[in-house]
Structure 1
Amino acid sequence: MIRFGLRLALASGQEAVVRLVIIAAAVALGVGLLLTALAGINAVGAQNQRYAWLNSGLVGETPGPEAADPSWWVLRDDYHQARRIGRLDIAATGPDSPVPPGIPRLPGPGEFYVSPALGELLRTSPEAELADRFPGHEIGTIGDSALPSPDSLLIVVGRTPQELSRMPGADRVASIMTTDPSECDRCVIGIGTEGITLVLSVVAGALIVPLLILIGTATRLAAARREQRFAAMRLVGATPRQISVISAVESTVAAVAGTVAGIGLFFALRPALATIPFTGERFFAGDLSLGLLDVLLVVLGVPLGAAVAARLALRRVRISPLGVTRRVTPRPPRAWRLILLAAGVAELCYFVGRRPSTTNGQLIAYMSGFVMIMVGLVVAGPWLTLVGSRLLAGRSRHAAALIAGRRLADSPQAGFRAVSGLTLALFVTSVATGVMSTIVAERGAPRTGSVMSSTLSQSFDTKGSEGPSRSRVPAGLASISGVEAVHPVYASPRDGGGPGSPDWYPGMISCADLARSPEFGSCSPGAEVAYVWHDLIGPRRATDDPPVWPAAPIDTAGVQALPLVSVVVTTDGSVSAVERSRTVLEAAFPDSGRYPATVADFESDFRRSLVQWQQLANVVIVASLAIAGCSLAVSVAGGLTERKRPFSMLRLAGVPLATLRRVVAVESAVPLLLVAVLAIGMGFVAAQLFLTSQLDYTLRPPGPAYYAAVVGGLVASLAIIASTLPLLRRITGPETARNE
């Protein structure tokens, strides 16, 4: 029977070939997306592993006196145009000092290694804006084994042990750390792989159900003709098992071809996929790898799923060979179809306040809940379509609406099947947008106002030691083109209860000095010195009015005798002014615990995270809508072909072609609009439950982009339906009624 099934699948004319091509294309798309999700999870792990060595000085145990030649490490963050530069100052204490990966030996004083991306940046940027920060000369390039990404900006600078031992934050390192940051409780550098793995897994789950619907829809092309053929086989003696084998063989052939094409599609697009910064930085192409288990899961699972979908799509013939020819109206769907939908919501509700502690537990909890809701929407869709069709038929005053309502009531499953893919796309869109908009609203959009982006602050670590004096502020700083003012901020001796106290401020500034930059605020009336934040900005937003700072009980002469806590430089916001000022400050204070930065620099990681989640959400939305559009086009076109004889008889009976077109439009639009409302509502409910359970947030209304996406998806769907209407004239002529 398998050989006979292959012959029917490959040698049954143009219609069979078209059906196989469509199924194979659907499977190829699904396989490509699933392999991308699995490879993305593997790439995140590979990228995170290459962060491990950077934690050596931060979490390693302090070496004892017996340790052989430990290295002195000082790891700090520098910035250039809001891009983070990792700078490791290192000094050997002997020939056996540990060497970081990616370099052949430790650099000596006046030498440094750079990553390829930073080396290119050094060559293309003016020296006064970047290169002058790094004394000495380049002696080599850091290898890929030490770089999380091709875009990583990293430099390893050689120093003397005497220099580094006096610096704040210096560590002695006896060995290079190799523990994956995701498995290290004390590691502070690396990627939160658990969260990204969870999101990528949910993405894969969000795409697999629409893909199975597309495969099932493609499998049902020309279903009526194939059912008649299978029924004839049953009447001449074929068993239900043999019919099942034949139908499964047809779909499995297409699924195998699509799987091979999908694997080829993934590898062809892998270099382009590696450039998508899912984690904020690009991957190396080799990081997007697949394990044997990943390949077997997809290669065996997708064809098996396609065979099951085919068996379910053509199950009516297996029951009785007369089931096709009699065309008995199927039983109407019942309200019990809402049970699975309710179960999915109940599961997500259960985990509110009971969030699993492990990634696998969260994956099972949330992914299974989302998948149950998506499957529940598909199961409940026919019942909702039946309810809507009865309302339509009962209230219609036009022939087209009456015919459409009665046809939908006779077969609500077929009516909903055409729009089921778009229903899931709207659900996924609502979930993704609801989660994203809430995260942005709760965490606050990055502060990018002119004061935040153009003010450079050089802070000093005064714990356990005094900061530098005012005399160390370079006189040439104010003469840089674009620099508007230089404000020394002095360390406050006051202890108002710590950073959690509302009246705690770490610095003080002369009111005469503050008056030169009114955008930072003003002093209280009569005050000579005011308490301020070290960067003169603090937690305020870009839209807040300049504050009135509280008075400090000290005069100008007294405050100027105190050590500095920071130096704040205001600029016109130009790249040259900011980066030249940064370079001058780093040269003036090379041993400070921190490097100068703007608020925009500090928030660059948050911006990258937002971009990362937005890109993932956009991928899900676009992919879901694309899959749904394909399902809709295939389903509507296939439905017209299936019903060409009834439509031809209606035309012979005098029904105008325009009325038939309105019937088709109403048949597709009614279930689409009805279930779209439910899908959007369930999407927001699922997003709310996820946010409450995982992040303890409350859902915030999405922005205009969401409504544009929803309206655009619905309009595109209606356009797809409209594009199939010209087929009616061609397939409903008198010859169709005569030949059928």
Structure 2
Amino acid sequence: MRTVLELAWRLLRGGGRRGLLGSLLTLAAVAVSTGLLMFAVGANHAFGQRADADAWRHPHKAAAGKGTAIEALSTDYVRGKPITVVDLAALDGRAPVPPGMKRFPKPGETWVSPALGRMMADRPADRLAQRFPSGKAAGTLGREALIHPDELVAVIGRAPSDPAVTAQRNESEAVDATAAPERIDAYATGAVSSRAQVYQVLMIIASVLMVVPLLVFGGAAARLTVARRDQRLAALRLVGATPGQVVAITTAEAVLTAAAGALAGVALYAAAVPALTRITIAGGTWYAGDLWPGLAALAVPAAVPVLVGISAVAGLRRVVVSPLGVARRETPPHLKAVRLAAFVLLLVAFAAVSGSLGGMGKAGLVVLLAFLALAFLGINLVGPWAVALIGRIAVATARGPARLLAGRRLLDDPRSAWRTVAGVALTGFVAGFLALMNPSASALGDHPTDRLELLVPHDRSAAVSRQVQERVNGLPATVTVDRGRTDPPLPVPGRADGEEADDTVAVRVRGGADQVERARTALAGVVPGKVATTPADPDAVQAELLADLRTGALTVLAVSFLIAITSAGITGASAVLDRRQAYAMLRLAGTPLQVLDRARRQETVIPLAVMGGGSILTGLFFAAPFAAGFGVSGALTLLAFVVLGFAGILGAGALSRPLLRSVTADPAPRPD
């Protein structure tokens, strides 16, 4: 084993300047892959941490006779931003201390998050602070109580007889925003709200859209400068090296390079974490600790070199089986059309089950993720076959030397040509999939922001309206009662079927947003357990989710573009190094450098136009069953992808033009 490692190290060191450049290209590719894998794993870990931080607010009923405290949940709003209000009352001295607090809150105390504390200090008391007992904060909630640094949270201590922790609440008013009082003996640390589940599901889908192309890119990284390595290993086989020794040398060489790249990728992600914390999702930024994926921070850089080593060994079949054929540069056998048949079978299978995925719950999500991963792998499987077909057509229709050279290269080594455009082609699938995930905020409607509403039982509406009128005296407001506004009636605990629907006590406030906030504060506690909200308040939360969908889509697309352009640049430079002797011989034979460069460009652009378009259509096909809307935003996403994709590929190709000029300037063969 020691001899193998020493020989692998000698081969890495003794490959000459261009051999070193090839190794650096592999290292850079692995570093980018590792950094982005860390981002995907870290983002999933962060959403899990947020779900855990939210869980304690959702009461879980204690076993009979074991309740030590009462917990209830409601949601208030200030300028369209939600304020999570947790009411707590201790039943005895064993009441559990809430996360992020040093002790259980006393009756009349209000503990607030740092962001809410700053907002209370900055605003007049009659617009916010007076909604809470004593009108000031008794303490500040710690990190363990908060989902994100910008969250607005208030924990209010109550007496066990306080109506705020005894009155029933209509939980159907807003999902996850309201919870009726429950006797608890511990906080529901395992509970996951539906909103947190939505974000976790979306992040898992986004991870698949990012990680599968990354794995493909990482596998391609192990095959960079494949022609140079194959020739060198074939020479070792011809002088007596066994297949096992060749495999061991290749594995050691790939793992050494990949390990250095993996460590560089971890450092790259660590440096990016401070910037990533500023991305706003679900109403706030991130804690840096949430984005650091714990043990996965060690697992990812440990796994990446192993995967790269496996991928490198997988490409050795030609060397082990026929080293003489490699040395003589024989053209490998044509790819089989069974690749296309497998891809078509995948499309048919998805079409058959896609209609039922929505009703399968978590199992449907697993099936969808599996199909998305298979779609990427299917595109990557059929890609080389399609490139070879494009090469045949290009050769048959060539009317000039550049097109003929490009076609012959595509036909001779379709796998290498596919690696150059695979990144952008796979990104085309992502762009097509996300183009149909652009719901418009206009679908939420245009609800009033100056009408505060309280939903109350019919037999109490008259009394509540009088109290409301007393509270808003002196404000530019009009109080009305809408009879049985809900249709059908909302279910309320304890109400018999057939009873009248709840009435809505409405307050129309004139004078702008500041007057509305004054009215909200005046109405605090008028109906125990309920807060006055406008019809537009829940829309603000939904609009936030839609904005997060667009932010997530753009983030995934940006990451995919980073993968694609990096892949194109690195594989383009690697291809020049692999073919340097062929380029040099053509140059000696009198082929102008411009023709070689034009042939190299066509070798990339022609398959990109075909496979990129096909990938976009595949993405649209897989997203169609879950389409949330295709408007201007979706069209612009696709247009931006087409423009940036071609521009990025051409730019990446231009970066390796000086390298092409360099390898053709000195055609003498090099013993590397």
Q: TM-score range by the shorter chain?
A: 0.7 to 0.9
Deviation of residue 632 (structure 1)?
0.9
1:581 to 500, 503, 519: 519
**CA–CA separation in structure 2 for the residues paired with 1:148 and 1:48:** 7
1:146 aligned partner, one-letter code: A
**Residue in 1 that maps onto 2:667:** 736
Q: Is the 8 A contact 1:469 1:564 kept in 2?
A: no
Deviations 1:585-625 (A, max 9, x none): 33xx6335532333332122212222333333222211111
Q: Is the 8 A contact 1:201 1:363 kept in 2?
A: no
Q: Is the 8 A contact 2:164 2:529 kept in 1?
A: no
Distance 1:653 1:146, change over 3 A: closer
Tell me whether 1:9 sits opposite 2:16 in the alignment: no
SS in 2 for 1:709: helix
**CA–CA separation in structure 1 for the residues paired with 2:8 and 2:351:** 47
**Residue in 2 that maps onto 1:538:** none
Deviations 1:290-326 (A, max 9, x none): 454x456534432121012222344422222212232
Distance 1:78 1:369, change over 3 A: same
**Residue in 2 that maps onto 1:185:** none
**Residue in 2 that maps onto 1:724:** 656
Tell me whether 1:258 sits opposite 2:261 in the alignment: yes
Name which of structure 1's ranges 464-473 and 663-672 shifts more when overlaid on structure 2: 464-473
**CA–CA separation in structure 2 for the residues paired with 1:494 and 1:419:** 59
**CA–CA separation in structure 2 for the residues paired with 1:78 and 1:278:** 20
SS in 2 for 1:565: strand
Distance 1:219 1:110, change over 3 A: closer
**CA–CA separation in structure 1 for the residues paired with 2:589 and 2:231:** 26
Point out where structure 1 has 5 or more consecutive residues left out of the alignment.
183-188, 501-532, 535-562
Deviation of residue 347 (structure 1)?
4.0
Tell me whether 1:401 sits opposite 2:403 in the alignment: yes
**Residue in 1 that maps onto 2:147:** 148
Name which of structure 1's ranges 337-346 and 679-688 shifts more when overlaid on structure 2: 337-346
2:384 aligned partner, one-letter code: P
Deviations 1:492-536 (A, max 9, x none): 269976589xxxxxxxxxxxxxxxxxxxxxxxxxxxxxxxx99xx
1:647 aligned partner, one-letter code: Y
Deviation of residue 215 (structure 1)?
3.4
Name which of structure 1's ranges 9-18 and 315-324 shifts more when overlaid on structure 2: 9-18
Distance 1:473 1:654, change over 3 A: same
Q: Is the 8 A contact 1:430 1:684 kept in 2?
A: yes
2:181 to 168, 171, 190: 171
**CA–CA separation in structure 2 for the residues paired with 1:90 and 1:60:** 14
Distance 1:112 1:199, change over 3 A: closer
Superposed, 1:174-253 pairs within 5 Å as 174-182=184-192, 189=193, 191-193=195-197, 195-253=198-256
Tell me whether 1:76 sits opposite 2:74 in the alignment: yes
**CA–CA separation in structure 1 for the residues paired with 2:390 and 2:260:** 40
Q: Is the 8 A contact 2:458 2:483 kept in 1?
A: no
Deviation of residue 453 (structure 1)?
5.6
Superposed CA RMSD in Å reads: 3.4
**Residue in 2 that maps onto 1:459:** 454
Distance 1:49 1:417, change over 3 A: closer
Distance 1:466 1:97, change over 3 A: farther
**CA–CA separation in structure 2 for the residues paired with 1:221 and 1:69:** 64
Deviations 1:660-717 (A, max 9, x none): 222111111111111111111111111124x28xxxx787782323322232122221
Q: Is the 8 A contact 1:422 1:628 kept in 2?
A: yes
Deviations 1:132-176 (A, max 9, x none): 222314221223333233222111234442544674536352423
Distance 1:237 1:291, change over 3 A: same
**Residue in 2 that maps onto 1:635:** 571
SS in 1 for 2:75: strand
**Residue in 2 that maps onto 1:324:** 326
Q: Is the 8 A contact 2:38 2:300 kept in 1?
A: yes
SS in 2 for 1:54: coil
SS in 1 for 2:479: strand
Indicate the percent of aligned positions where both proteins have the same amino acid: 31
Q: Is the 8 A contact 2:255 2:308 kept in 1?
A: yes
**CA–CA separation in structure 2 for the residues paired with 1:599 and 1:166:** 26
Superposed, 1:115-126 pairs within 5 Å as 115-126=113-124
SS in 2 for 1:490: strand
SS in 2 for 1:736: coil
TM-score, normalised to structure 2, is 0.86
Distance 1:367 1:96, change over 3 A: closer
SS in 1 for 2:137: strand
Tell me whether 1:384 sits opposite 2:386 in the alignment: yes
2:394 aligned partner, one-letter code: L
**Residue in 1 that maps onto 2:494:** none
**CA–CA separation in structure 1 for the residues paired with 2:33 and 2:393:** 37
Q: Is the 8 A contact 2:22 2:574 kept in 1?
A: no
2:430 to 393, 403, 428: 428
Deviation of residue 571 (structure 1)?
4.2
Tell me whether 1:644 sits opposite 2:580 in the alignment: yes
**CA–CA separation in structure 2 for the residues paired with 1:82 and 1:277:** 16
**CA–CA separation in structure 2 for the residues paired with 1:468 and 1:577:** 24
**CA–CA separation in structure 2 for the residues paired with 1:69 and 1:273:** 41
Q: Is the 8 A contact 2:113 2:142 kept in 1?
A: yes
**Residue in 2 that maps onto 1:552:** none
Deviation of residue 252 (structure 1)?
0.4
**Residue in 1 that maps onto 2:617:** 681
Superposed, 1:280-429 pairs within 5 Å as 280-288=283-291, 290=293, 292=295, 294=296, 297-355=299-357, 361-362=363-364, 364-429=366-431
Matched positions, count: 646
Q: Is the 8 A contact 1:118 1:152 kept in 2?
A: yes
Q: Is the 8 A contact 2:105 2:157 kept in 1?
A: yes
Deviations 1:240-285 (A, max 9, x none): 2211211221110011122223333444444544444555544433
**Residue in 1 that maps onto 2:177:** none
**CA–CA separation in structure 1 for the residues paired with 2:28 and 2:669:** 35
**CA–CA separation in structure 1 for the residues paired with 2:412 and 2:184:** 77
TM-score, normalised to structure 1, is 0.78
Superposed, 1:42-121 pairs within 5 Å as 42-56=45-59, 59-60=60-61, 70-71=69-70, 73-92=71-90, 95=93, 99-121=97-119
Q: Is the 8 A contact 1:181 1:190 kept in 2?
A: no
SS in 1 for 2:111: strand
2:533 to 590, 597, 621: 597
**CA–CA separation in structure 2 for the residues paired with 1:353 and 1:225:** 49
SS in 1 for 2:523: helix
1:736 aligned partner, one-letter code: P
Q: Is the 8 A contact 1:341 1:372 kept in 2?
A: no
Q: Is the 8 A contact 1:50 1:147 kept in 2?
A: yes
**CA–CA separation in structure 1 for the residues paired with 2:78 and 2:133:** 17
2:152 aligned partner, one-letter code: L
**Residue in 2 that maps onto 1:566:** 506
**Residue in 2 that maps onto 1:32:** 35
Distance 1:28 1:175, change over 3 A: same
**CA–CA separation in structure 2 for the residues paired with 1:290 and 1:662:** 45
Distance 1:98 1:371, change over 3 A: closer
**CA–CA separation in structure 2 for the residues paired with 1:74 and 1:208:** 40
**CA–CA separation in structure 2 for the residues paired with 1:21 and 1:410:** 26
SS in 2 for 1:138: coil
Tell me whether 1:618 sits opposite 2:621 in the alignment: no
Superposed, 1:436-515 pairs within 5 Å as 436-437=437-438, 440=439, 445-447=443-445, 449=446, 452=447, 454-462=449-457, 465-468=460-463, 470-474=465-469, 486-492=477-483, 498=489
2:217 aligned partner, one-letter code: L
Name which of structure 1's ranges 80-89 and 15-24 shifts more when overlaid on structure 2: 15-24
